[in-house]
Structure 1
Amino acid sequence: MTARLIVVRGNSGSGKTSVVEAIRALYGRGIAYIEQDYVRRTVFQELDELDGANIELIGLMARHALGRGFHTVIEGILPTVRYGGMLARLHREYGGHFYYLDIPFEETVRRHGTRDKATAFTAEDMAAWYRSKDLLDQPRETVIDETSSLDATVQQILDETGLRRGPAAEIQVGDDDRLTGRE
Protein backbone atom coordinates (compact mmCIF):
# COMPACT_ATOMS: atom_id res chain seq x y z
CA MET A 1 0.00 0.00 0.00
CA THR A 2 1.29 3.46 -0.86
CA ALA A 3 2.08 5.58 2.17
CA ARG A 4 -0.80 7.88 3.07
CA LEU A 5 -0.66 11.47 4.33
CA ILE A 6 -3.26 12.38 6.94
CA VAL A 7 -3.61 15.82 8.51
CA VAL A 8 -5.76 16.34 11.63
CA ARG A 9 -6.31 20.00 12.52
CA GLY A 10 -8.50 21.84 14.98
CA ASN A 11 -8.48 24.15 17.95
CA SER A 12 -6.89 23.32 21.27
CA GLY A 13 -9.06 20.82 23.13
CA SER A 14 -10.82 19.57 20.00
CA GLY A 15 -9.62 15.95 20.37
CA LYS A 16 -6.85 15.83 17.78
CA THR A 17 -4.37 13.90 19.91
CA SER A 18 -7.02 11.43 21.04
CA VAL A 19 -7.90 10.72 17.43
CA VAL A 20 -4.28 10.21 16.34
CA GLU A 21 -3.43 8.03 19.34
CA ALA A 22 -6.47 5.85 18.62
CA ILE A 23 -5.54 5.53 14.94
CA ARG A 24 -2.03 4.41 15.90
CA ALA A 25 -3.34 1.99 18.53
CA LEU A 26 -5.71 0.38 16.05
CA TYR A 27 -3.39 0.35 13.05
CA GLY A 28 -0.20 -0.70 14.78
CA ARG A 29 3.33 0.00 13.58
CA GLY A 30 3.94 1.90 10.37
CA ILE A 31 2.41 5.29 11.15
CA ALA A 32 4.67 8.29 11.71
CA TYR A 33 3.13 10.85 14.06
CA ILE A 34 4.25 14.46 13.62
CA GLU A 35 2.87 16.61 16.43
CA GLN A 36 3.03 20.35 15.79
CA ASP A 37 3.33 21.22 19.49
CA TYR A 38 6.27 18.87 20.00
CA VAL A 39 8.20 20.26 17.04
CA ARG A 40 7.40 23.87 17.93
CA ARG A 41 7.65 23.77 21.71
CA THR A 42 10.18 21.02 22.40
CA VAL A 43 12.48 21.03 19.40
CA PHE A 44 12.62 24.80 18.89
CA GLN A 45 11.05 26.31 22.04
CA GLU A 46 9.42 28.90 19.83
CA LEU A 47 6.15 30.77 19.80
CA ASP A 48 3.76 30.07 16.94
CA GLU A 49 5.11 32.72 14.57
CA LEU A 50 4.38 33.47 10.92
CA ASP A 51 7.73 32.15 9.71
CA GLY A 52 8.50 29.77 12.56
CA ALA A 53 11.28 27.22 12.15
CA ASN A 54 8.85 24.41 12.97
CA ILE A 55 6.71 24.95 9.88
CA GLU A 56 9.18 23.78 7.28
CA LEU A 57 10.58 21.09 9.60
CA ILE A 58 7.10 19.58 9.87
CA GLY A 59 6.97 19.49 6.05
CA LEU A 60 10.46 17.96 5.85
CA MET A 61 9.61 15.33 8.46
CA ALA A 62 6.46 14.40 6.56
CA ARG A 63 8.33 14.10 3.26
CA HIS A 64 10.99 11.94 4.90
CA ALA A 65 8.46 9.63 6.60
CA LEU A 66 6.36 9.26 3.43
CA GLY A 67 9.50 8.63 1.39
CA ARG A 68 10.44 5.84 3.78
CA GLY A 69 7.01 4.23 3.35
CA PHE A 70 5.37 5.35 6.61
CA HIS A 71 1.77 6.46 6.65
CA THR A 72 2.16 9.93 8.11
CA VAL A 73 -0.18 11.86 10.39
CA ILE A 74 0.43 15.55 11.04
CA GLU A 75 -1.55 16.83 14.00
CA GLY A 76 -1.96 20.30 15.48
CA ILE A 77 -3.86 23.53 15.52
CA LEU A 78 -1.85 24.42 12.40
CA PRO A 79 -3.46 27.85 11.78
CA THR A 80 -4.12 28.43 8.09
CA VAL A 81 -2.36 31.80 8.03
CA ARG A 82 0.95 30.18 9.08
CA TYR A 83 0.76 26.53 7.97
CA GLY A 84 -1.55 26.70 4.96
CA GLY A 85 1.23 27.08 2.39
CA MET A 86 3.26 24.16 3.73
CA LEU A 87 0.18 21.94 3.90
CA ALA A 88 -0.87 22.90 0.35
CA ARG A 89 2.61 21.97 -0.93
CA LEU A 90 2.44 18.60 0.82
CA HIS A 91 -0.97 18.00 -0.71
CA ARG A 92 0.29 18.84 -4.21
CA GLU A 93 3.20 16.43 -3.74
CA TYR A 94 1.48 13.54 -1.93
CA GLY A 95 -2.28 14.03 -2.03
CA GLY A 96 -3.65 13.01 1.30
CA HIS A 97 -6.62 13.25 3.56
CA PHE A 98 -7.20 16.42 5.56
CA TYR A 99 -9.55 16.63 8.56
CA TYR A 100 -10.69 19.59 10.63
CA LEU A 101 -12.24 18.94 14.05
CA ASP A 102 -14.85 21.69 14.40
CA ILE A 103 -15.66 21.92 18.10
CA PRO A 104 -17.36 24.95 19.73
CA PHE A 105 -15.14 27.05 22.00
CA GLU A 106 -17.12 26.30 25.17
CA GLU A 107 -16.71 22.57 24.58
CA THR A 108 -12.96 22.88 23.97
CA VAL A 109 -12.62 24.68 27.31
CA ARG A 110 -14.65 21.99 29.07
CA ARG A 111 -12.50 19.26 27.53
CA HIS A 112 -9.29 21.11 28.37
CA GLY A 113 -10.30 21.01 32.03
CA THR A 114 -10.21 17.19 31.95
CA ARG A 115 -6.69 16.94 30.52
CA ASP A 116 -3.44 16.29 32.33
CA LYS A 117 -2.15 19.63 31.05
CA ALA A 118 -5.21 21.57 32.27
CA THR A 119 -3.02 23.93 34.31
CA ALA A 120 -0.59 24.59 31.44
CA PHE A 121 -2.81 27.33 29.98
CA THR A 122 -6.10 29.06 30.74
CA ALA A 123 -9.45 29.48 29.02
CA GLU A 124 -8.35 33.06 28.28
CA ASP A 125 -5.26 31.71 26.49
CA MET A 126 -7.48 29.34 24.52
CA ALA A 127 -9.81 32.21 23.57
CA ALA A 128 -6.85 34.12 22.12
CA TRP A 129 -5.89 31.10 19.97
CA TYR A 130 -9.37 29.97 19.00
CA ARG A 131 -10.29 30.36 15.33
CA SER A 132 -13.77 29.30 14.29
CA LYS A 133 -13.76 27.22 11.09
CA ASP A 134 -10.13 28.00 10.20
CA LEU A 135 -10.42 25.87 7.07
CA LEU A 136 -7.74 25.61 4.40
CA ASP A 137 -8.47 27.05 0.95
CA GLN A 138 -6.67 24.09 -0.63
CA PRO A 139 -6.94 21.22 -0.09
CA ARG A 140 -10.51 20.83 1.04
CA GLU A 141 -10.84 19.38 4.49
CA THR A 142 -13.40 16.95 5.82
CA VAL A 143 -15.07 18.73 8.73
CA ILE A 144 -15.95 16.57 11.73
CA ASP A 145 -18.07 18.19 14.43
CA GLU A 146 -18.68 17.54 18.13
CA THR A 147 -21.50 15.05 17.47
CA SER A 148 -19.02 12.46 16.15
CA SER A 149 -17.76 10.04 18.79
CA LEU A 150 -14.08 9.29 19.06
CA ASP A 151 -14.67 5.78 17.73
CA ALA A 152 -16.78 7.03 14.81
CA THR A 153 -14.20 9.68 13.92
CA VAL A 154 -11.33 7.19 14.01
CA GLN A 155 -13.30 4.68 11.95
CA GLN A 156 -14.22 7.36 9.40
CA ILE A 157 -10.56 8.31 8.97
CA LEU A 158 -9.44 4.68 8.70
CA ASP A 159 -12.15 3.96 6.13
CA GLU A 160 -11.57 7.09 4.04
CA THR A 161 -7.80 6.68 3.98
CA GLY A 162 -7.93 2.97 3.21
CA LEU A 163 -5.98 2.08 6.35
CA ARG A 164 -7.02 -1.17 7.95
CA ARG A 165 -6.80 -2.16 11.55
CA GLY A 166 -3.59 -3.91 12.46
CA PRO A 167 -2.87 -6.43 15.18
CA ALA A 168 -2.98 -3.80 17.94
CA ALA A 169 -5.52 -4.25 20.71
CA GLU A 170 -8.88 -2.54 20.47
CA ILE A 171 -9.22 0.75 22.27
CA GLN A 172 -12.05 1.08 24.71
CA VAL A 173 -14.42 3.88 23.81
CA GLY A 174 -17.77 4.20 25.54
CA ASP A 175 -20.97 4.83 23.61
CA ASP A 176 -21.16 8.35 25.07
CA ASP A 177 -17.59 9.33 24.33
CA ARG A 178 -17.28 12.25 22.00
CA LEU A 179 -13.96 13.60 20.81
CA THR A 180 -12.93 13.95 24.42
CA GLY A 181 -10.32 16.24 25.83
CA ARG A 182 -7.70 13.51 26.05
CA GLU A 183 -5.74 15.60 23.62
Structure 2
Amino acid sequence: MNTSPDAQAEVSTRSTSDLASLIRGIQARNRDAFGAFYDATIQRVYGLALRITRQRTLAEEVVGDVYLQVWQQAANYSPGRGTIVAWLSVICRSRALDALRRDGGHGRAISLDVGPAGESADSSAAPDDIVQSVEQGSQIHMALMLLSERQRQLVALAYFRGYTHSEIATCVRMPIGTVKVNLHRAMKTLKEFMTADKQTKGGRDE
Protein backbone atom coordinates (compact mmCIF):
# COMPACT_ATOMS: atom_id res chain seq x y z
CA MET A 1 0.00 0.00 0.00
CA ASN A 2 1.54 3.28 -1.11
CA THR A 3 1.28 5.84 1.71
CA SER A 4 4.07 8.18 0.62
CA PRO A 5 3.40 11.94 1.02
CA ASP A 6 3.13 12.33 -2.77
CA ALA A 7 0.63 9.51 -3.01
CA GLN A 8 -1.43 10.87 -0.12
CA ALA A 9 -1.45 14.35 -1.63
CA GLU A 10 -2.67 12.89 -4.93
CA VAL A 11 -5.45 10.76 -3.52
CA SER A 12 -6.55 13.46 -1.08
CA THR A 13 -8.00 15.31 -4.07
CA ARG A 14 -10.34 12.48 -4.95
CA SER A 15 -13.94 13.56 -5.40
CA THR A 16 -16.93 12.04 -3.68
CA SER A 17 -17.63 10.04 -6.84
CA ASP A 18 -14.11 8.61 -6.68
CA LEU A 19 -14.67 7.45 -3.10
CA ALA A 20 -18.01 5.97 -4.11
CA SER A 21 -16.25 4.01 -6.84
CA LEU A 22 -13.69 2.75 -4.33
CA ILE A 23 -16.42 1.69 -1.92
CA ARG A 24 -18.04 -0.33 -4.69
CA GLY A 25 -14.66 -1.94 -5.27
CA ILE A 26 -14.34 -2.80 -1.59
CA GLN A 27 -17.83 -4.26 -1.63
CA ALA A 28 -16.57 -6.50 -4.46
CA ARG A 29 -13.61 -7.47 -2.21
CA ASN A 30 -11.09 -5.63 -4.40
CA ARG A 31 -7.93 -5.12 -2.33
CA ASP A 32 -6.54 -2.46 -4.66
CA ALA A 33 -9.70 -0.41 -4.14
CA PHE A 34 -9.33 -0.87 -0.40
CA GLY A 35 -5.71 0.32 -0.54
CA ALA A 36 -6.66 3.40 -2.54
CA PHE A 37 -9.53 4.15 -0.16
CA TYR A 38 -7.16 3.88 2.80
CA ASP A 39 -4.70 6.28 1.18
CA ALA A 40 -7.48 8.74 0.36
CA THR A 41 -8.96 8.85 3.85
CA ILE A 42 -6.25 7.92 6.38
CA GLN A 43 -5.28 11.48 7.28
CA ARG A 44 -8.84 12.44 8.17
CA VAL A 45 -9.51 9.22 10.07
CA TYR A 46 -6.28 9.38 12.06
CA GLY A 47 -6.78 13.09 12.79
CA LEU A 48 -10.28 12.48 14.13
CA ALA A 49 -9.17 9.46 16.17
CA LEU A 50 -6.33 11.47 17.71
CA ARG A 51 -8.62 14.40 18.46
CA ILE A 52 -11.00 12.15 20.39
CA THR A 53 -8.52 9.88 22.19
CA ARG A 54 -5.67 12.40 22.67
CA GLN A 55 -3.30 9.41 22.60
CA ARG A 56 -1.25 8.45 19.55
CA THR A 57 -1.07 4.75 20.40
CA LEU A 58 -4.80 4.55 21.02
CA ALA A 59 -5.53 6.54 17.86
CA GLU A 60 -3.45 4.09 15.83
CA GLU A 61 -5.44 1.20 17.29
CA VAL A 62 -8.67 2.99 16.40
CA VAL A 63 -7.50 3.46 12.81
CA GLY A 64 -6.88 -0.27 12.51
CA ASP A 65 -10.35 -1.02 13.89
CA VAL A 66 -11.96 1.49 11.53
CA TYR A 67 -10.48 0.07 8.35
CA LEU A 68 -11.14 -3.50 9.44
CA GLN A 69 -14.80 -2.54 9.84
CA VAL A 70 -14.77 -0.79 6.46
CA TRP A 71 -13.45 -3.95 4.80
CA GLN A 72 -15.92 -6.20 6.61
CA GLN A 73 -19.00 -3.99 6.43
CA ALA A 74 -18.62 -1.92 3.26
CA ALA A 75 -21.81 -3.55 1.97
CA ASN A 76 -23.70 -1.76 4.75
CA TYR A 77 -22.91 1.67 3.31
CA SER A 78 -25.85 3.34 1.59
CA PRO A 79 -25.58 6.73 -0.16
CA GLY A 80 -29.04 7.55 1.12
CA ARG A 81 -27.75 7.63 4.69
CA GLY A 82 -25.11 10.30 4.08
CA THR A 83 -21.76 10.88 2.41
CA ILE A 84 -18.94 8.37 2.58
CA VAL A 85 -16.87 10.77 4.66
CA ALA A 86 -19.73 11.16 7.15
CA TRP A 87 -20.19 7.37 7.30
CA LEU A 88 -16.47 6.91 7.90
CA SER A 89 -16.48 9.61 10.60
CA VAL A 90 -19.33 7.89 12.44
CA ILE A 91 -17.39 4.62 12.42
CA CYS A 92 -14.26 6.38 13.65
CA ARG A 93 -16.06 8.15 16.50
CA SER A 94 -17.73 4.93 17.57
CA ARG A 95 -14.47 2.95 17.56
CA ALA A 96 -12.64 5.78 19.36
CA LEU A 97 -15.23 5.89 22.13
CA ASP A 98 -15.05 2.10 22.42
CA ALA A 99 -11.27 2.38 22.74
CA LEU A 100 -11.59 5.01 25.46
CA ARG A 101 -13.98 2.81 27.42
CA ARG A 102 -11.58 -0.13 27.14
CA ASP A 103 -8.73 2.12 28.20
CA GLY A 104 -10.68 3.30 31.22
CA GLY A 105 -10.30 6.96 30.20
CA HIS A 106 -6.61 7.00 31.14
CA GLY A 107 -4.90 9.98 29.60
CA ARG A 108 -8.13 11.32 28.10
CA ALA A 109 -8.25 15.05 28.70
CA ILE A 110 -10.35 18.03 27.81
CA SER A 111 -8.73 21.32 26.95
CA LEU A 112 -10.00 24.29 28.92
CA ASP A 113 -8.34 26.79 26.63
CA VAL A 114 -11.08 29.36 26.12
CA GLY A 115 -9.16 31.27 23.42
CA PRO A 116 -10.98 33.62 21.06
CA ALA A 117 -14.67 32.92 20.64
CA GLY A 118 -14.10 31.90 17.03
CA GLU A 119 -11.27 29.49 17.70
CA SER A 120 -11.58 25.94 16.39
CA ALA A 121 -12.31 23.14 18.85
CA ASP A 122 -9.31 21.16 17.62
CA SER A 123 -6.89 19.28 19.87
CA SER A 124 -3.89 20.24 17.73
CA ALA A 125 -3.20 23.48 19.64
CA ALA A 126 0.40 23.97 20.71
CA PRO A 127 1.18 23.12 24.37
CA ASP A 128 1.87 26.77 25.19
CA ASP A 129 -1.67 27.61 24.09
CA ILE A 130 -3.32 25.08 26.35
CA VAL A 131 -4.44 26.68 29.61
CA GLN A 132 -5.24 23.52 31.53
CA SER A 133 -6.24 19.90 31.05
CA VAL A 134 -8.08 17.65 33.45
CA GLU A 135 -8.76 13.93 33.39
CA GLN A 136 -12.34 12.82 33.05
CA GLY A 137 -13.65 12.12 36.51
CA SER A 138 -15.63 13.67 39.32
CA GLN A 139 -14.07 17.11 38.88
CA ILE A 140 -15.01 17.57 35.26
CA HIS A 141 -18.49 16.14 35.79
CA MET A 142 -19.07 18.54 38.69
CA ALA A 143 -17.90 21.40 36.49
CA LEU A 144 -20.22 20.33 33.66
CA MET A 145 -23.19 20.58 36.03
CA LEU A 146 -22.61 24.35 36.13
CA LEU A 147 -23.46 24.57 32.44
CA SER A 148 -26.86 24.77 30.82
CA GLU A 149 -28.18 21.62 29.17
CA ARG A 150 -27.44 23.08 25.73
CA GLN A 151 -23.88 24.04 26.71
CA ARG A 152 -23.24 20.53 28.06
CA GLN A 153 -24.48 19.13 24.76
CA LEU A 154 -22.14 21.35 22.77
CA VAL A 155 -19.14 20.53 24.99
CA ALA A 156 -19.88 16.82 24.69
CA LEU A 157 -20.05 17.02 20.90
CA ALA A 158 -16.92 19.15 20.57
CA TYR A 159 -14.59 17.64 23.14
CA PHE A 160 -15.81 14.11 23.78
CA ARG A 161 -16.99 13.18 20.30
CA GLY A 162 -14.57 15.31 18.33
CA TYR A 163 -17.12 17.15 16.19
CA THR A 164 -16.01 20.29 14.36
CA HIS A 165 -17.92 23.53 14.83
CA SER A 166 -19.59 23.04 11.44
CA GLU A 167 -20.65 19.49 12.30
CA ILE A 168 -22.07 20.66 15.63
CA ALA A 169 -24.02 23.45 13.95
CA THR A 170 -25.57 20.94 11.56
CA CYS A 171 -26.27 18.41 14.31
CA VAL A 172 -28.05 20.82 16.69
CA ARG A 173 -29.45 23.09 13.95
CA MET A 174 -27.78 26.18 15.33
CA PRO A 175 -25.85 28.94 13.52
CA ILE A 176 -22.12 28.24 13.65
CA GLY A 177 -21.50 31.63 15.26
CA THR A 178 -23.89 30.76 18.10
CA VAL A 179 -22.13 27.42 18.55
CA LYS A 180 -18.76 29.15 18.88
CA VAL A 181 -20.03 31.74 21.37
CA ASN A 182 -21.75 29.11 23.53
CA LEU A 183 -18.67 26.89 23.53
CA HIS A 184 -16.48 29.85 24.43
CA ARG A 185 -18.70 30.73 27.40
CA ALA A 186 -18.95 27.11 28.50
CA MET A 187 -15.19 26.57 28.45
CA LYS A 188 -14.66 29.85 30.31
CA THR A 189 -17.02 28.63 33.04
CA LEU A 190 -15.24 25.27 33.23
CA LYS A 191 -11.83 26.91 33.40
CA GLU A 192 -12.93 29.22 36.23
CA PHE A 193 -14.35 26.27 38.17
CA MET A 194 -11.22 24.16 37.75
CA THR A 195 -8.95 27.08 38.68
CA ALA A 196 -10.96 27.80 41.85
CA ASP A 197 -11.06 24.09 42.73
CA LYS A 198 -7.29 23.81 42.31
CA GLN A 199 -6.70 26.84 44.53
CA THR A 200 -9.02 25.42 47.19
CA LYS A 201 -7.16 22.11 47.21
CA GLY A 202 -3.85 23.92 47.25
CA GLY A 203 -4.92 25.83 50.35
CA ARG A 204 -5.89 22.62 52.13
CA ASP A 205 -2.54 21.05 51.30
CA GLU A 206 -0.56 23.89 52.88
Question: TM-score, length-normalised on structure 2?
Answer: 0.25
Instruction: Name the structure with the higher helix share.
Output: 2
Structure with more contact order per residue of length (Cα contacts < 8 Å, sep ≥ 6): 1
For the pair shown, the structure with the greater C-alpha radius of gyration is: 2
Question: TM-score, length-normalised on structure 1?
Answer: 0.27
Instruction: Name the structure with the higher strand share.
Output: 1
